[in-house]
Every structure is written in structure tokens, then in C-alpha cells.
A and B are shown apart, each in its own frame.
Chain A
Amino acid sequence: KNQVEQSPQSLIILEGKNCTLQCNYTVSPFSNLRWYKQDTGRGPVSLTIMTFSENTKSNGRYTATLDADTKQSSLHITASQLSDSASYICVVSVGTYKYIFGTGTRLKVLA
């Protein structure tokens, strides 16, 4: 069964600290993996996308990694800011047209 699991479910950190969010997937055939940021009540916004052959992709203070062998991805946020408070969603594309969404990690950054 195609599944995407994210951990932790929620996370609270202090402003300026780093954090890492995890995404494990059991999906076949794997096409690509994308991380989204979703502010409360708003639509998700794409942060990074990686194909099978890509190990790491950065977008400013966001760095995503992908280990296709272990079927794991992580999103590392450096020097967190209050505006990073949001849900982060891992999405895996299966084949051409199917998308499996994780339930997300809810991040809260405190001043």
C-alpha cells in the first residue's frame, strides 16, 4: 500500500534554532518527492522537489534531502524565524498522475 508518514506530528522550537522534519514513504513506482509549506487556512506552497537521482535540494534556509534506498526524506530548516510557523507536508508522486500526501508536521516557532 502506498503510504507517506511524517514525523514528528508537531514541533515547537525557539526562534533562531534549527530543526529537521522527517518523511518516510512506501511508494511504487516513485516519481518525485516534494515538500510544501502550508500556513493555517491557506493553500500549500512548494518548497523543493526531488527526483530519484537527487540527494539534496535547497531553497534559502530550507534544505531537503532524499535517500531513495531507505525511502526517507528530511527537511532541514536553518535559523528558524517566526514566519516558519506552519505545517510542512511531504508529497510523493506515484507514477505519472497519482499523489500521496503525508499528514504533515505542524511547526511552531516561539520568540
Chain B
Amino acid sequence: DSGVTQTPKHLITATGQRVTLRCSPRSGDLSVYWYQQSLDQGLQFLIQYYNGEERAKGNILERFSAQQFPDLHSELNLSSLELGDSALYFCASSVGTSGYNEQFFGPGTRLTVL
């Protein structure tokens, strides 16, 4: 158990809908990262937050947005969902922003868009 929690574990929804994925980082970690992993694809870095502020953006679509709240939990909002958005979404946390800080991954949220 990494100490990072994600909810829900599974999510099934229809095209065009909007969903929110939630992540609670490890105690003491200030950085939160979001990743997308499609079937048989590598992990794609989406976005990073540090202490409530956006720090880095990766391959995140405009239909997706995220935020980190004062209690450091983070939410990833996915809207106007398409079939191709079906994937595992991972959240990770680390103590700081340095690339040398180990990232601890949560168990993931499996999103299925029908």
C-alpha cells in the first residue's frame, strides 16, 4: 500500500458525460501527479500540482482539468467523454517537486466510456 488513495476504483459512463476522479496523496506529500494509461499503452503524464498550484502540464486534453485543494487532495475532471478516454487513471504523490523525489502511485481508477 503506497498511502495514496483514489476513488472511485471503477467508473462506467456514457459518451458526452462528465466525471470527477479523486486522489488523496500520502501524508506529508505536497505534489500530486495525474497519469493516463490506455489499454496496452504506456503511462502518459497529464498534469502536476504542488501545494495547490499547477506546476507542469503534459499531454492533457482541453476537455480535462484538474485542481488541488487546500487539504492537498486533488480532483481530475473529464468532460465531453469519448470512447477513447477509456483508460486507467493514476494519481501519484511526492514530497516535493524535484524529479528526484520518488513518486508513489495510487491503485488507479478504471474508467470505461460506453
Contacts and interface: CB of A to CB of B under 8 A. Distances in A.
A53 B62 CA distance: 38
A43 B107 contact: yes
A24 B97 CA distance: 25
Chain A interface residue bracket vs B: 20 to 34
A9 B101 CA distance: 27
Nearest to A92: B99
Contacts of B110: 41
Given A96-B97, A96-B99, A43 B41 contact: no
Contacts of A1: none
Interface string A73-111: 000000000000000010101011111011110000000
With a 10 A CB-CB cut-off, give which of B48, B58, B98, B103 has the most chain A CB atoms: B103
Contact of B97 (A89, A91, A97): A97
Given A31-B99, A96-B97, A43 B105 contact: yes
Identify which of A51, A89, A101 gathers the most chain B CB atoms within 10 Å of its CB. Answer: A101
Given A43-B106, A43-B108, A99 B42 contact: no
Interface SS of chain B: loop
A45 B41 CA distance: 17
B99 A45 contact: no
Given A101-B45, A103-B41, A43 B102 contact: no
A103 B43 CA distance: 7
Interface string A37-64: 0000111111001010000000000000
Contact of B56 (A32, A41, A97): A97
Given A93-B99, A96-B97, A103-B42, A42 B58 contact: no
B102 A46 contact: yes
Given A43-B107, A45-B105, A98 B97 contact: no
Contacts of B2: 43, 45
A103 B56 CA distance: 21
Contacts of A102: 42
